[in-house]
Structure 1
Amino acid sequence: MIEKFNQKISPAGKFKNEGYHDDPYLRSLITKEEKIATKIYGSSTEGSKALASEIASIIKIKELESKKCVLGLAVGSAPSEVYDELVSMHKKDGLSFKNVIVFNVMEYYPIAPNALQSFSRNISEKFYDRIDIPKENIFGLDATLPQEKIYDFCRTFEEQIEKVGGIDMQILGIGGTGHIGLNEPGSSSNSLTRIVSLDDITRTVAASDFFGKDNVPRKAITMGITTILKAKRIRVLAWGEGKAAIIQKTVEGEISEEVPSSFLQKHENCHVIVDEAAGNELTRVKTPWLIDSVVWNDRLVKKAVVWLCQQVNKPILKLTDRDYNDNGMGDIIAEKGSAYQVNIRIFNELQHTITGWPGGKPNADDTYRPERKSPDKKKVIIFSPHPDDDVISMGGTMLRLVDQGHDVHVAYQVSGNLAVSDDDVLRYIDFIGDYTGGLNLDSKQIKAEHDKIRKFIANKKHDQIDLPEIRRIKTLIRVGEAKAGCRYANVKESNTHFLNLPFYETGGVEKKPIGKEDVKIIADLIKEVKPHQIFAAGDLSDPHGTHRVCLDAIFQAIDQLKKEEWMKDCWVWLYRGAWHEWEIHNIEMAVPISPDELMRKRNAIFKHQSQKDGAMFLGGDSREFWQRAEDRNRGTAQLYNELGMAEYEAFEAFVRYEFL
């Protein structure tokens, strides 16, 4: 389902020579800006399966030759599906790993091998423990050694790689700074396996895994750039638009120590494997008309016209024939008519996305409006992955839907308890203790419970899962904040739903796969409400994956229900969260937010006090969530204004998911 939606929002356009993949000359023309061979797949699943098949093929060939297959393996979200697919091949097809030798790419230092955040533990649980690889064939990086012994260990590690004949296939992810392994910006191209200091951005991104940045190790052990480049084949994986910018620098940019992944351009057999979102900044996707003739569909024309406005710093209606011709877009004029005709059409299309009536305007002509006028009072479900995504991402629209009389339900899909700090727990139990003490309740029992919690937190290690009692308190903190936000927005208490999807409730950052129970909980709510509108988070670049899983669960539930008669009257709108906004050519509904409404939205976000002042999951962006939301909303309004639309304070933007 997500793959189908990705295809809608990633209109790369088709080159007129559609068979260029089979023609070496045309292929080299289309990819002429790319210095590393790059394959774009429709989804991470599709790309992962292709790579798993390649790995399996190498293993089988080596087995026939009675040789060992040597793999260098990274860990993290990028290769996760590859390992799942290889495990599936092992269990279903009998793929054996008895002739495989593996070398781990990286490890935090210092860290125990059984720590929750240990890369060694992570890859063992995801992969090694589920296949028949001999334990003696696994070479990890020992992060328990004293630092004075690390140099000798790393030298021995390099010698072990050489002894087995070198690495046949090196699998890598890529960090937002361009690190491969944990070779941070500034790493030398001749570096070998060694201990390194972690970049501040890397530590900030990892903070959620360690329940706070202060717990993230400042060092790591990693294969060096030279170690990686010695591999016979290298495959780099990247998924989601959050990786699009660094993939463009890696593949099309200059070789630089500031972008360590750019050193991969030196390798003769390196392939970059991305989904459509991660490949979105590559020239052949972002501006294919600058490379060769393309087939101009309506969405690609809109994308190109918006790009042209930004290039020449003009609003749409001031573009001329010469602007089109000078920027590789003369074919549009030849095919679609004069610049004036194209400009008018695109201007009107963008103008028609703007509406102050996100639930539809009653008794109005809705021919060119993004939403229907009937029924004039709609039943609405706003699905919020975490207990604050609703107000962060579409708080202004939510307030307007309620103000305009629609029956608004808000459904929080997961508890979000991982994002609550231990300090907040202590603050709340202090309040509970003081309050209940004054009421002469069973203070001994309460005190005993609170002492147990205090003792655990005082001695808690950063790789420990919270006690059930603590997780319960953290959940209640998020529930209370969400209820306060809904009260502020005048959403009925009976319309506030806490789904607590089971996939999330592991107690750790690593979640379970989505299951039938998760989908059923969502489907049951949809059946109960029978909404005319569903709003859901389409923010697939959430670095922790929860948004993607929550959206997939909604899509699966909708797929089960789509044949119901009442579902024919249901429209699904996708918003984006704290990480990215829809590209303007994809936006299908833009709701203007006035200065007063923006302040009301901010106040609703402020009800989520546990997520202010250094929240647990800020990622690599130091701005608080309300600041990101306002900057993004104002930025969208500014883009509309620069294209020649009316000037608004801010916009919240939506894309429609058509499931029928």
Structure 2
Amino acid sequence: MARLNLLEETRYEKLPVSVYGNQQEASLAVAGRIAKLIRDKQAKGEQAVLGLATGVTPIRVYAELVRLHKEEGLSFKDVITFNLDEYYPMKPDAAQSYVTFMYENLFSHVDIDKAHVHIPDGTLDKEDVVAFCLDYEKQIEELGGLDLQILGIGRTGHIGFNEPGSAPNSGTRLVTLDDLTRSDAARDFGGKANVPTKAITMGIGTIFKAREIILMAWSAKKAPIVKKAVEGEISGEVPATYLQLSDHVEFVLDEAAASELTRFDTPWLVKDCSWDDNTLKKKAVIWLADTIGKPVLKLTEEDYNNHGMAQLAVEQGPVYNINIDIFNQIQHTITGWPGGKPNADDSQRPERALPAKKRSVIFSPHPDDDVISMGGTFIRLVDQGHDVHVAYQTSGNTAVWDDDVLRYMEFAIDFTNSIGEDSNHLTKLYEEMRAFFPQKQPNQIDTREIRNVKGFIRKTEAISGARYAGLPDDHIHFMALPFYETGKTKKNTVGEEDIQLTIDLLQKIKPHQIFAAGDFADPNGTHLVCFNIILAALDRLKATEDWVKDCWLWMYRGAWHEFETHEIEMAVPLSPQEVIRKRNAIFKHQSQKDRPVFPGDDAREFWVRAEDRTSDTAKKYDKLGLAEYEAMEAFVRYRF
């Protein structure tokens, strides 16, 4: 019976899927399987032939393999490896090369014979690539094929660098990279312009010949493409769907990457649910209204029955009562008083009425997240008389164009000369910068002086934006958390000083409200790091500081994704005029306008994304039957 239930739950899934609580658990499981394969082969006096992947996804797998080697004696002497791909052209000692990646993360830490390591050669002359690729295939075949191939998945659905349009029988070859793939790699190269346009990759046909294939995916960013790969129709537009044709493949996911699969996203379609879970009930009713295009209060019993929700209708009906309950819950998230409405009944409002004047701190991971993400709420909190502070957690100095540095230096030199001061030192620095930039390699660390100028640019823009929102200068705080200040896109791990700086600021303000970026799909990863620093600081403070017990933490989303409607706990409507004021605050960040250094995979400017996102949220509320607003900023309360 249990097997039948599982088959029913997974009936939309066209290949085997294993889901783990988090990527650490999943990585340990995959590493354990690789280790078992190696040991089983060694026991038979055979060599294990592994197909290996690069990127963020397998890093923890490799770390566990290194641990198993050092602490449990796992030997790689009889292991032969073939990597999936390499950028072209690419020098093997470049920071972005997959040769560098593999040696840094695995090969330099284990006892593998370097002659057994095979990685596509990114230094070949173009006329030699075809012969190299044929030989790569031949070497794999002469060894009897790959015992195990591990894969990640790109957001285009690529496996290896087999981009949309790849043939299912394709072999190792030179390919042109998809624009989205290059955008995703931009941060590693210090900008998309530096990302190679081509790569050498194993083909889908080569991958298929492996006796076992494990595709790994972590995080909610991968959830949409995982759903297409697992539940979608086989299509060259999503190369990973070809894996549905293999009898030897398994997808290994964490919960976030699996979140859009039917059994997790809309479980009422495949199994009986516990409708005592109000969050699930709210999600299902909103989904139903959106699916059939009706306001919540117009949903009928027939609608419930025809869309997998008959059980809910029977257990908690009549359905009109369910509709009213959910409608009221959604309506109670709407408030024009994000700091609480004084002298008002707050039993049905998202924020407390008291104290009437709250101390609020807005944590902004980068110097523009505050106004991009919640600029309208920021301005409204100030207008309504609350004691608002903004804390910029990082300098954002890696996200400024080099030519902006020269422009500001030229201004400083001219201004210094205009007031009769000696500008020789500035001129010398300027000439050094001009000489440095043409020789600068992708993601090379800027000089300290250049980093400072870039930081000053972001700082002055943030001050301008915060002043426009109505803050006095002594309520604008620049934390410059040390984990970020590496000069590189790769940041340090969080240290004690990062947490202590946050503790010091919180003790100084003693806020009733904290607003923090809960946009963990941020492609740069800074939002999640900054959020965890805040949590660590609060965790320490709650033991000694009484004010923490009365402090509410609200999460906002950035330029990347909005909360799902059923998740929203506070929706702050914005008037047309407030939308314009928010736009003007965003415009103060001139270095991020038009064409930022790290735009993500969305070509729209940040202010356009922000307006489209908040407009879309308002439209969703309107379609559910709620009042029609120009825009809405959404928040979810984090209960720590």
Aligning the two structures, in what range does the TM-score lie when normalised by the shorter sequence? over 0.9
Deviation track 1:288-336 (CA, whole Å, cap 9, x = no partner) reads 1111212221111111100110122111111111111111101111111
Residue from 251, 276, 279 that aligns with 1:299 = 279
Secondary structure of the residue aligned to 1:418 is: coil
2:151 is aligned with 1:166: no
- Correspondence for 1:619: 600
> CA contact under 8 A between 1:299 and 1:585: conserved in structure 2?
yes
Deviation track 1:552-583 (CA, whole Å, cap 9, x = no partner) reads 22222222223332210111111111111000
> CA contact under 8 A between 1:74 and 1:105: conserved in structure 2?
yes
2:631 is aligned with 1:650: yes
Residue from 211, 215, 218 that aligns with 1:232 = 211
- Correspondence for 1:41: 20
> CA contact under 8 A between 2:51 and 2:84: conserved in structure 1?
yes
2:128 is aligned with 1:128: no
User: Counterparts of 1:165-244 in structure 2 under 5 Å?
Assistant: 165-244=144-223
- Correspondence for 2:583: 602
User: Counterparts of 1:332-371 in structure 2 under 5 Å?
Assistant: 332-371=312-351
Closer, same or farther: CA 406–522 of 1 in aligned 2, 3 Å: same
Q: 1:210 is matched by which residue type in structure 2?
A: F
**Aligned partners of 1:229 and 1:585: how far apart in 2?**
41
> CA contact under 8 A between 2:461 and 2:590: conserved in structure 1?
yes
Q: 1:134 is matched by which residue type in structure 2?
A: D
Q: 2:43 is matched by which residue type in structure 1?
A: L
> CA contact under 8 A between 1:415 and 1:479: conserved in structure 2?
yes
> CA contact under 8 A between 2:518 and 2:556: conserved in structure 1?
yes
- Correspondence for 2:411: 431
**Aligned partners of 2:113 and 2:573: how far apart in 1?**
60
TM-score under structure 1 normalisation?
Answer: 0.94
- Correspondence for 1:470: 450
> CA contact under 8 A between 2:84 and 2:202: conserved in structure 1?
yes
> CA contact under 8 A between 1:115 and 1:463: conserved in structure 2?
no
Cα distance, 1:431 vs structure 2: 0.7
**Aligned partners of 1:253 and 1:204: how far apart in 2?**
24
Cα distance, 1:113 vs structure 2: 1.5
Deviation track 1:436-481 (CA, whole Å, cap 9, x = no partner) reads 1223323222211110000001222324221221111111111111
Q: 1:196 is matched by which residue type in structure 2?
A: V
Residue from 527, 534, 552 that aligns with 1:571 = 552
Secondary structure of the residue aligned to 2:283 is: helix
Q: 1:401 is matched by which residue type in structure 2?
A: L
User: Counterparts of 1:21-420 in structure 2 under 5 Å?
Assistant: 23-296=2-275, 297-420=277-400
| Runs (5+) with no aligned partner, structure 1 | 1-19
**Aligned partners of 1:132 and 1:555: how far apart in 2?**
40
Cα distance, 1:118 vs structure 2: 1.7
Q: 1:598 is matched by which residue type in structure 2?
A: V
**Aligned partners of 2:483 and 2:98: how far apart in 1?**
22
**Aligned partners of 1:538 and 1:51: how far apart in 2?**
29
Secondary structure of the residue aligned to 1:46 is: helix
Q: 2:450 is matched by which residue type in structure 1?
A: I
TM-score under structure 2 normalisation?
Answer: 0.96
**Aligned partners of 1:519 and 1:92: how far apart in 2?**
32
- Correspondence for 1:4: none
Closer, same or farther: CA 494–93 of 1 in aligned 2, 3 Å: farther
Q: Give the stretch that moved more between structures: 387-396 or 165-174.
A: 165-174
> CA contact under 8 A between 2:341 and 2:352: conserved in structure 1?
yes
| Runs (5+) with no aligned partner, structure 2 | none
Cα distance, 1:92 vs structure 2: 4.0
**Aligned partners of 2:493 and 2:283: how far apart in 1?**
35
2:566 is aligned with 1:585: yes
Secondary structure of the residue aligned to 2:445 is: coil
Closer, same or farther: CA 424–48 of 1 in aligned 2, 3 Å: same
Q: Give the stretch that moved more between structures: 125-134 or 358-367.
A: 125-134
Secondary structure of the residue aligned to 1:656 is: strand
Deviation track 1:181-207 (CA, whole Å, cap 9, x = no partner) reads 111100011111111011122223323
Secondary structure of the residue aligned to 1:237 is: strand
Secondary structure of the residue aligned to 1:482 is: helix
Q: 1:535 is matched by which residue type in structure 2?
A: F
Cα distance, 1:103 vs structure 2: 1.7
Deviation track 1:44-81 (CA, whole Å, cap 9, x = no partner) reads 22322222222233233333333322222211122222
For this pair of structures, how many residues does the alignment match?
638
**Aligned partners of 1:248 and 1:83: how far apart in 2?**
26
Q: Give the stretch that moved more between structures: 445-454 or 270-279.
A: 270-279
**Aligned partners of 1:513 and 1:162: how far apart in 2?**
42
Q: Give the stretch that moved more between structures: 432-441 or 130-139.
A: 130-139
- CA RMSD of the aligned region, Å? 1.7
**Aligned partners of 2:165 and 2:385: how far apart in 1?**
57
Deviation track 1:220-277 (CA, whole Å, cap 9, x = no partner) reads 1111101111122222222222222211110011111111111111221212122333
Cα distance, 1:637 vs structure 2: 0.4
Deviation track 1:119-175 (CA, whole Å, cap 9, x = no partner) reads 221232233223333322321111011111111111222222223332222221111
Q: 1:213 is matched by which residue type in structure 2?
A: K
Q: 1:551 is matched by which residue type in structure 2?
A: F
Identity within the alignment, %: 56
